[in-house]
Amino acid sequence: MTMLSPSILSADFGSLQEEILKLERGGADFIHLDVMDGIFVPNITFGAPVIKKLRNTTKVPFDVHLMIDRPERYIKDFAEAGADIITIHEEATTHLHRTIEEIKSYGLKAGVALNPSTSLDSLEYILDYIDLVLIMTVNPGFGGQSFIRSMERKIKRMRQIIDDRKLNILIEADGGSKLDNAKEIIDYGLDMIVVGSGIFEAKDVIERTKMFKEL
């Protein structure tokens, strides 16, 4: 069964604890936390102190997505804040393997994210060391964007690579998933799907989360 990782990027930042509890009641498998620095992406969200505060709200695992420049500077901070998965961008760090090893040294799952235009070939020599590949299906930095259609081929190709090599790696997609297209996107070969505005645009967040889970 594909796991649901709702992103709080589109939630009410004035009541994040309440919003997370709604996701928990709706059956979310993970809480997706988008950390943006205004450098790697043109937006700023929150950092490790906020995540540490939110950690006491729920036992649902935290899927922390670092959309920041040189993430190796802050791995310890996010590990200590309560992350269960830390995903970094291949494009954001020079020494990808070293940073992945640091994430895993804290007993966490390590993921690598790829921007829409980044080739899967960039993962060739890191696949044996990671737990998750996050395929960005929109350009990172903002919520509410439309799914980029060419990412269908990218997800399917990633699925084929992982299956052919018999790797224990999850495939996650982030961006543009709505009720009317999420099932199709899942069927491309996903293990996890990130949904933001598709959940928080609803009046009843709990019920909308349940609807996505049913997909």
Q: How far is CA 122 from CA 8, 52, 167, 200, in A?
A: 29, 32, 17, 33
Catalytic residue among 37, 63, 131, 174: 174
CA 142 to chain centre: 13
Beta bridge partners of 4: 193
Catalytic residue among 34, 37, 63, 131: 34
Strands 132-136 and 192-195: unpaired
Residues 6+ apart with CB under 8 A from 212: 4, 6, 179, 182, 193, 195, 198, 199
What's the half-sphere exposure (Cβ side, CA atoms, 13 Å) at 73? Answer: 8
Q: Catalytic site residue 174?
A: yes
Q: Catalytic site residue 34?
A: yes
User: b/e for 153-167, b at 16 or more Cβ within 10 A?
Assistant: ebbeebbebbeeeee
Beta strands of 47-195 (E only): which ranges?
Answer: 62-67, 85-89, 109-114, 132-136, 170-174, 192-195
Place of tokens 């006491």: 56
Distance CA 90, CA 92 (A): 6
List residues with catalytic annotation: 34, 174
